[in-house]
Amino acid sequence: MKDEVLIDIKDVKKHFPLSKKWFAEKKYVKAVDGVSFSIKKGETFGLVGESGCGKSTTGRLINGLIKADSGEINFKGKNLANISEKDWKKYRKPMQMVFQDPYASLSPRMKVKDILLEPLKIHYPKMPNDEKKKLITELMDKCGISEFHLEKYPHEFSGGQRQRIGIARSLILRPELIIADEPVSALDVSIQSQILNLMKDLQEEFGLTYLFISHDLSVVEHISDRVGVMYLGNLVEIARKRQIFEDPKHPYTQALLSSIPQPDPKKKRETIVLTGEIPSAANPPSGCKFHTRCPAAMEICRKIVPELKQLGREQYTACHLY
């Protein structure tokens, strides 16, 4: 089914306590502060925004690595936000993560073959060894790692190859959703596109759905169908990729885009320089959190939080200009 929604999150919040001292005034970092979006089966949803805006926290909430304070996390129509740790285990198999630094997530003392074997042993203890081996070699081959590399250790590979191994490991249990958190951010630009192309090929082959997290809009442009732009714990714009890149509505999206170098002078965008630092997520500005840096800020922006409004068929923005 083409329009089947795989993941649908509604008004999800995660506030981390800032001070553990009992006598201090309780302060919270509003890492995720009421986020809603959905991802259709087979789609790639790119989540972008500056450092600290809550992208990784959103990914970890969806994956169940951390629990939401409130809101719904619906996976295939079932709300996972309040289920027990034991029940979460069932849903971890169809949801897997790929991280920025595969070196940190691959055990240095394990051979590559054992890194891939481990999840199979846990989830399919009765599977015969030769079948396990076949699954591993076939998958590694699809990820561009040949069989003779299976006896090697992670440190014997380059960064790009290690990310191929990380991707293979995320796919060994045949998940439906991959949450990729900055999967190419640590790689050289030339290697980045190889990994992005590999991810696209694997998506087609296995019918995967991606939540693709990156601070880099040009990386997201490469791979996404739709894009969500985050600022200080909120989504400020959601739209199809083309709309985001050709006709962005939110001043923050416009500013992010204008900072991407544009080689074609005809496509050159007006440069919007954001003034001021990103405010702290522990003490965000009132009203629209972006008003302190927004070139189009009005009086209302200081006072009233803008709702995410639908502007076009698939374009939503949270801004008082509309």
In the complex, what is the shortest distance from the CB of residue 49 to ligand ATP, in angstroms, rounded to a whole number?
Answer: 6
User: What is the signed CA dihedral for 174, 177, 182, 185, rounded to 10 degrees?
Assistant: 50
In the complex, what is the shortest distance from the CB of residue 263 to Mg ion, in angstroms, rounded to a whole number?
Answer: 28
In the complex, what is the shortest distance from the CB of residue 129 to Mg ion, in angstroms, rounded to a whole number?
Answer: 38
Q: Kindly write down the DSSP assignment for every residue of 186-231, as one continuous string.
A: TS-HHHHHHHHHHHHHHHHHHT-EEEEE-S-HHHHHHH-SEEEEEE
| Contacted entry of Mg ion, ligand ATP, none for residue 52, CB cut-off 5 to 8 Å set by kind | ligand ATP
Question: Can residue 278 be called a binding residue for ligand ATP (CB under 6 A)?
Answer: no
Among 6, 44, 56, 319, binds ligand ATP (CB under 6 A): 56
Write the CA distances from 161 to 155, 156, 175, 182, 274, integer angstroms. 10, 9, 21, 16, 37
| Contacted entry of ligand ATP, Mg ion, none for residue 31, CB cut-off 5 to 8 Å set by kind | ligand ATP
| Contacted entry of ligand ATP, Mg ion, none for residue 16, CB cut-off 5 to 8 Å set by kind | ligand ATP
144/279 with CB nearer ligand ATP: 279
Residues 64-123 that bind ligand ATP (CB under 6 A): none
Q: Which of 62, 108, 95 is nearest to 81 (CA)?
A: 62
Question: Can residue 57 be called a binding residue for ligand ATP (CB under 6 A)?
Answer: yes
In the complex, what is the shortest distance from the CB of residue 49 to Mg ion, in angstroms, rounded to a whole number?
Answer: 9
What lies within 8 Å, CB to CB, of 127 at 6+ separation is 120
Rounded CA separation 169/121 (Å)? 13
Distance of CA 215 to the CA centre of its chain: 10
Question: Can residue 54 be called a binding residue for ligand ATP (CB under 6 A)?
Answer: yes
Cβ atoms within 10 Å, residue 137: 16
Query: x-or-dash pattern for ligand ATP, window 208-247, by CB under 6 A?
Result: -------x--------------------------------
Rounded CA separation 268/321 (Å)? 24
Angle 65-5-315 from CA coordinates, rounded to 5°: 100
| Contacted entry of ligand ATP, Mg ion, none for residue 153, CB cut-off 5 to 8 Å set by kind | none
Q: Are 132 and 140 in contact (CB under 8 A)?
A: no
> Treating both helix axes as pointing N-terminal to C-terminal, what angle do 189-206 and 159-171 enclose, rounded to 10 degrees?
20
Residues 280-309 that bind ligand ATP (CB under 6 A): 281
29/178 with CB nearer ligand ATP: 29
Question: Shortest Cβ contact with Mg ion: which residue?
Answer: 56
What lies within 8 Å, CB to CB, of 70 at 6+ separation is 11, 12, 13, 81
Q: Which of the stretches 54-62, 91-99, 134-142, 192-200 binds ligand ATP when contact is defined by CB under 6 A?
A: 54-62
Q: Which residues bind Mg ion (CB under 5 A)?
A: 56
Q: Which of the stretches 46-54, 136-144, 256-264, 294-302 binds ligand ATP when contact is defined by CB under 6 A?
A: 46-54
For 33, the enclosing helix (H) or strand (E) is: strand 28-40
Q: In the complex, which residues of this chain contact ligand ATP (CB under 6 A)?
A: 16, 29, 31, 49, 51-57, 215, 281
